[in-house]
Amino acid sequence: MLNDARARIVSWLDRTSAKWWPDEAADSSSGGSPLEITKLIGIAFKLAVIAAVVQGCIHYFDALVLHFRISMFNADDDRGVFTWASSMATAMAGLGLLLAASQVRARSRVLILLSMGLFFFSLDDTVALHERIPNLSFIPVGPSGRIVWIVCAMPLLASVWVGLLAFSWRAPEALRKAVFWGLGGLVVAIFLEFTSPVLFTLGSDHGKWLYELEVVAEEGLELASWILIAAATSISALWLAQSRAREL
């Protein structure tokens, strides 16, 4: 039964992704396109790791040494520079999908809807919609507000996640791997988000080393994941544009 379900899922992903990618895409990397895709994605991976490490080191130093005297370096603060960076990466991923939608022959509306979902998540990072949930008088959630936000947004999160998976399924290998790693990182980041109330219960609050370590891991994964996805969608748009130009 599990094998049948897996086969059906793979078949659906293959059929859906084939609407966007030409047959040669799944077998091409840098050699099948003027773009050096593998090299570009390699650079994106390095940038993602560097960004996550730098963010984590600065946040941890600000939390445990400076005791949050420089609030803009607090990765857990929606008004901080790192939230802005993650928001920009998410918006870039949406822009990449929007550009890709202009180059595909079928189901471009699906990519447009996916890009709108990413733009919404970028907006949420910027204006902190999820932070307003605990302040609603009819939702007495307290410190569990993060979980309430994730649960409320789960349908959209899941839809965007599956959509990105389907989009990248038949993409050139380097692009596919970048999206897969990005999606995997987001799953782990969401799991870490669910551990926050547990840490509060155990007495590890803001400023404690264990909680701040969770923040470093969660926010670092989120930033790195969106950088990878943004790079992959942007390069995908260029790849599709060049593929379309060669057919003219």
- What are 146-188's pLDDT values in tens digits? 556 666 677 888 999 999 999 999 999 999 999 999 999 999 9
- pLDDT tens-digit series, residues 153-164: 778 889 999 999
> By the 8 A CB rule, do 201 and 63 touch?
no
Residue with tokens 């400076």: 66
Query: Quick check: is 115 in a domain?
Result: yes
Per-residue pLDDT of the chain (248 residues; tens, 9 = 90+): 667 788 888 888 888 888 888 766 655 544 445 468 889 999 999 999 999 999 999 998 988 888 888 888 988 887 889 999 999 999 999 999 999 999 987 788 999 999 999 999 999 888 866 656 555 544 455 555 555 666 667 788 899 999 999 999 999 999 999 999 999 999 999 888 878 777 767 667 676 778 888 889 999 999 999 999 999 999 999 999 888 777 66
Rounded Cα distance between 134 and 1, Å, is 42
Assigned domain for 204 exists: yes
Residue 81 lies in a domain: yes
Name every residue whose Cβ is closer than 8 Å to that of residue 51 and which is 6 or more positions away in sequence: 85, 223, 224, 227
Closest Cα partner for 133 from 123, 147, 119?
147
In a domain, residue 102? The reply is yes
Residue 156 included in any domain: yes
Read off the amino acid at residue 57.
C
- H helix runs in the chain, sequence order: 2-18, 37-64, 81-101, 108-127, 145-168, 173-194, 196-201, 209-247
Which distant-in-sequence residues (6+ apart) come within 8 Å of 137 by Cβ? none
Q: What is the pTM of this model?
A: 0.87
Q: Let me know if residue 216 belongs to a domain.
A: yes
Instruction: Give the integer Cα–Cα distance in Å for 28 and 37.
Output: 9
In 3-state terms, what secondary structure has residue 241?
A: helix
The answer to whether residue 221 sits within a structural domain is: yes
The whole domain housing 92 covers: 33-247
Number of domains into which the chain is organized? 1
Rounded Cα–Cα distance for residues 75 and 171 (Å) = 33
In a domain, 27, yes or no: no
Cβ 131 vs Cβ 78: under 8 Å: yes
Distance of CA 229 to the CA centre of its chain: 6
Which is nearest to 172 in space by CA: 14, 23, 12, 15? Answer: 23
Residue type, 89: A
147 three-class SS: helix
